[in-house]
Structure 1
């Protein structure tokens, strides 16, 4: 989408995650864009319809700030809950954007960060099973292991979406855009 226009603040986009074999994994309908730059897209899901690969539909329960980057092999979801912010970090290919959607390949490995700071690596068994099933290259395996290190460093250093004011800033921005639209 380098030649066509990037979505602007307040626009809605669709997000589609795929598996390594090209099969559709999950679709988020109507994610509001909060910021775009050459390499980043920040958005929010708030009672967003999610469609699973089997056609099952559900709606997100709480507002969540989503962060995608063109160079990093992860994306970050900051879920705003009553007990604080929980982060769900997907190890995934950098995003691509076309007229249809923001798209990426989900590589199963996830890191969850709880409001108290506890971190958990999730789905390592699923990653291993899919690595064997779809023959992930050694290069993909290496890139993902390096990006787990980058992600953990961001978490520990409170960088980017993990910085103190990040979620408040972008949630406030979302409320301003929403209020402006309802005037």
Structure 2
């Protein structure tokens, strides 16, 4: 199986548990692509929602996907610091069309001072019932909320000092 190579432009497809498309990011530059990890960068990319509406991201972002963890992390570079939006999701898969994952509603928003909040618990409960999330998925996701918040507290992975800045500098080398 091939993986996206450094410098490749890829799409990111987010699905819901029922298999329906949730959201598509039109263009992300691959900064690292391995069997376990994809790190990408984008800025002002078009995002298409499941209902066809589109919008454009407002700031540069570095995206971190892992094939073993049930979350992905987006570090958004703003004038007042780095904000992180973390989606509780299935591990990513790459199928030569796009990087794909299942979005499981729960999100963790992390502020520049590394404080964080858990978002969308109500939406998660509604979808868990509507789409019949298995109990094992519920346990996995709750365990990964703990893993993710532990990473924040330990400044691990994308939360480490200089992680986002270092990858953003690499991203800038690919901009025309």
Q: Give the TM-score of the pair, scaled to structure 2.
A: 0.98
* Structure 2 equivalent of residue 151 of structure 1: 148
CA shift, 1:72, in A, is 0.3
* Structure 2 equivalent of residue 130 of structure 1: 127
* Structure 1 equivalent of residue 118 of structure 2: 121
Following superposition, which runs of at least 4 residues in structure 1 exceed 6 angstroms of deviation?
A: none
Unaligned segments of structure 2, at least 5 residues = none
How many residues are treated as equivalent by the alignment?
176
Higher relative contact order (CA 8 A, sep 6+): 2
Deviations 1:64-115 (A, max 9, x none): 0000000000000000000100000000000111121111000000000011
Unaligned segments of structure 1, at least 5 residues = none
Q: Give the TM-score of the pair, scaled to structure 1.
A: 0.94
Aligned partners of 2:145, 2:99: CA distance in 1, in Å?
22
1:147 aligned counterpart, secondary structure: helix
Find out whether 1:22 has 2:19 as its counterpart.
yes
Deviations 1:143-181 (A, max 9, x none): 001111110110000000000010110011111232xxx
Find out whether 1:81 has 2:91 as its counterpart.
no
Aligned partners of 1:168, 1:136: CA distance in 2, in Å?
37
CA shift, 1:10, in A, is 1.1
Aligned partners of 1:53, 1:95: CA distance in 2, in Å?
19
Deviations 1:19-43 (A, max 9, x none): 0101100000111100112200000
1:17 aligned counterpart, secondary structure: strand
